[in-house]
Chain A
Amino acid sequence: MPAGRVRVKSSKTTHRSARILSLALPLVFACNGGSDDGDDGAADSTGGDLPEGCDVYVEPSEDDQTALAEAFVDATDGKTLCIAAGEYHVTRQLTLTGNGVTVKGAGVDMTTLDFAGQETGGNGILIKGDDVTFTGLTVRNTPGDGIRADQVQNIAFVEVDVIWEAMHSLDNGAYGLYPVGSTGVTIQKCQVVGARDAGIYVGQSSNIVVEDSVAHDNVAGIEIENSTDAIVRRNQAYSNTAGILVFNLPGLDVKDGKRANVYENDVHDNNVENFADPGTVVGIVPPGVGMLVLAADGNELHGNTISNNDSVGIALITYSSESGLFEPPNDPDYDIYSEGNYVHDNTFTNNGTMPDELVQLLTGGMTMTPDVIFDGCIDAMKDNTDGSLSNCLGDDGARFMNADLCGDNMGSSTDPTTVACSHDPLPSELP
């Protein structure tokens, strides 16, 4: 059957069709009239003007799946694929392989790709091309991850929403916006709601900007994992289990992520019961956490507004199996420590008022936890004479605790002057 309405301009197919038409117009008409093929031919071309700025154009139809799949094939290098306003029902993962492609919807409230009936594929959309931009559309209810960009150069999501409508459901997908193994990641003015792992999840990547975006009702709002040189600013993370995570995990090809500059974010009311799958690292994050740095170095967390997170505002911790939280990493190249981080000039209001048991484990059973907790561990085998490995706090008036989990600090302390130091500020532009 002719698949939906897709229009392309100046594709190879179009050229060829046009050539065949001019050569043998009568034949084509006579023979195609009786056949029921309807595949390649349907994906062109000749009918209707394309909207300005679009090389490939798709509208809602009776077979959105085939129409969108064809449009993604027709979106070859450098093309702009426009997806008209409307709701699309997608049953399989859509894969984009072209480089320099822009996929443009009519706006997040206008163009919605609904994957509730998806039968196959671990993601709603998989991006494999470099220099790709997605903008102005909503991806909804994927059984697996929302949009994954896999090992690409330069991926931008601008005004893209990924939504799961079921509240806090284990049936929701794990990751909303999911660039992994990529260089040059931009996530701007996006929104992710309902991921049962991390809403905005940047993994094993470098040169990252996540800004002016919203993540709520996920397990983790925003997670930067095993990634280097990230700017995370002016986002809102609320009603998640944890607001913003900066993690390094073992067993991955890309190790030693560092230098996340996390500032001017509004991180509040992240108190949702953890609904991640048991067995995942994010699944053990206790509810009520504003920001958590795990085994990551050289990050700067500053100028954030952090409020009403029941367990703790900001915590810096080691991936320590001795704490009972983590399995032994089984990765000889993995550095379990969070070192050289700098927390300063944040505004804390009403955090730590009802700490989860796990956080109480860290504080020795305090019923009110401080705004900021360092577990107090740095690697004793490394040379820290210049203080570069020390975790520093420059938050005047913040309630603080050094939990001295590793026993290097002669007991726990709530004296912030013990960690009053500073590191050079991270750049607010990418290298």
Chain B
Amino acid sequence: MSRVSARRSCAAAMAALLLCACGDDPAPYDPGDPPYDKLSDWRFFRGALADLQPSSDVLPYTVVAPLWADFAGKGRYFRLPEGGKIDFTDKDEWGFPEGTIFIKTFFFDTDRSDPDDEPRIVETRLLVYEPAGIASYIYLWNDAQDEAERIKGGADVHLSYTDADGKPAEQLYLVPDQNTCEDCHARDDVAVVLGPTTHQLNTAAPPESEEQGNQIDLFASLGLFREAPPAAASLPAFHAPTGDGALAERARSYLHGNCAHCHRPGGGGGPSGLSFLYWEDRPAEYGVCKVPAAAGAGAGGRQVDIWPGDPERSIVPFRMSTTDPDIKMPELPSLLADEFGAKLVSDWIASLTDPACEY
């Protein structure tokens, strides 16, 4: 049954049932309690859902060093509860009040040879500040792109697209199950939101933002912070990995954005003793001449995480470049290596000269 006819017959059935079951007083639509089964019931967007036009209380934002997700593009938004304020800090995640919702939509270019193609929206993930902590919910978009339904157990999505050379191509994309969110979004046993930090958000607002300018300045002008932060120009920022900043800054920004959700004290990769926090300034802590703890096959016969000057002898780019689940880093349900990121980190390691490892 086609989508349209299914909807029509449903509407007809609804009308008939309402007539007999409810008389002339139609019951108002009741989506139930959150988390809703349908994305549209959250009312984050106005107009056609696929247009992702944020409602007036939903703000788009972007990050400087995004997490690689198998070529997915991402639309990021958040909604504060009425009167809710953000607690600013210049390091690590800002504080958000109960009722805040982060909304991230994943989409794929259907024609990667055409910058103006219509993307295919695959999933929308929510992080909801509930009384008991931050909860994760995942919505899978339908083929008609007019609704997304909540799923808990993950999904395999088979994408057909035109590649950069104009040839037809296929890609399997994995929508994670709900519990997998905590593989990254947890620290010291508490669920966390990762993107909204000063370093990540200290950049221009995305094109879909109603007002342009630096995001932090913009949020401050909207009165979103409990206490207004200093001007963004005086605050720290990541360097866009694809930008033209210093190699070390770009690589360390990339490593923070893609690895430090786990590789930091309290994170899932904390027991490895390796920390990719951008502000970690002790080389041994971020892997220089560090022997792995329990890398297993992940070591690939290499002795240290980062061997200055020699990416071939370094475990980090080796693990970034593979898709073998036994070896691959990060341990995410992504299926494709980020060749750009691996090269960036390799180039950075190649540029390091000091200190030399003692072997």
Q: A-side interface residues toward B, CB under 8 Å? A: 3, 16, 19-20, 23-24, 26-27, 30-31, 34-35, 37, 39-41, 43, 65-70, 72-74, 92-97, 118-122, 126, 128, 130, 143-145, 150-152, 170, 173-175, 180-181, 196-197, 201, 203-204, 249-254, 276-281, 327-331
Contacts and interface: CB of A to CB of B under 8 A. Distances in A.
B207 interface: no
Contacts of A30: 10, 13-14, 17
Contacts of A39: 140, 149-153, 155
Interface of B: 1, 6-7, 9-10, 13-14, 17, 21, 27, 30, 32-33, 37, 140, 142, 149-155, 174, 176-180, 182-183, 186, 188-189, 265, 268, 270-273, 284, 289-297, 299-303, 324-326, 328, 331-335, 358-359
Given A39-B149, A73-B179, A119 B325 contact: yes
B358 A151 contact: no
Contacts of B149: 37, 39-40
Which of A19, A23, A26, A122 lies at the interface centre, i.e. has the most chain B CB atoms within 10 A of its CB?
A122
A16 B359 contact: no
Given A23-B30, A68-B153, 17 more contacts: A23-B27, A34-B9, A40-B149, A66-B154, A69-B178, A93-B331, A120-B332, A121-B333, A128-B182, A128-B183, A144-B325, A174-B294, A174-B297, A181-B270, A277-B301, A279-B292, A279-B303
B273 A95 contact: no
B301 A279 contact: yes
Contacts of B140: 39
A196 B153 CA distance: 31
A45 to B, nearest CB: 12
Contacts of A121: 325, 331, 333
Which of B14, B273, B294 lies at the interface centre, i.e. has the most chain A CB atoms within 10 A of its CB?
B294
B299 A277 contact: yes
A160 B291 CA distance: 32
Given A122-B331, A253-B265, A73 B271 contact: no
A128 B13 CA distance: 46
A26 B17 contact: yes
A24 B291 contact: no
B152 A40 contact: yes
Given A31-B10, A66-B155, A143-B325, A252 B293 contact: yes
Nearest to B302: A279
B332 A277 contact: no
A120 B334 contact: yes
Contacts of B328: 120, 122
Contacts of B154: 65-66, 69, 92
Given A40-B37, A181-B271, A73 B326 contact: no
Nearest to B330: A122
Contacts of B359: 327-328
A92 B10 contact: no
Contacts of B331: 93, 121-122
A253 B290 contact: no
Given A66-B154, A92-B333, A151-B270, A31 B174 contact: no
A251 B290 contact: yes
B291 A253 contact: no
Nearest to B188: A151
The 10 A-B pairs of least Cβ separation, nearest first, read A174-B296, A70-B153, A69-B177, A39-B151, A69-B153, A30-B13, A279-B299, A66-B153, A95-B179, A34-B6
A46 B6 CA distance: 25
A68 B30 CA distance: 30
Contacts of A94: 177, 179
B183 A118 contact: no
B271 A204 contact: yes
A93 B293 contact: no
A119 B178 contact: no
A175 B32 contact: no
A151 B177 contact: no
A233 B272 CA distance: 28
B296 A197 contact: yes
Nearest to A19: B32
Which of B1, B140, B270, B326 lies at the interface centre, i.e. has the most chain A CB atoms within 10 A of its CB?
B326
A92 B174 contact: yes
B271 A327 contact: no
A98 B182 CA distance: 11
A277 B318 CA distance: 14
5 contacts: A30-B17, A128-B183, A144-B326, A174-B326, A276-B296
Nearest to A276: B296
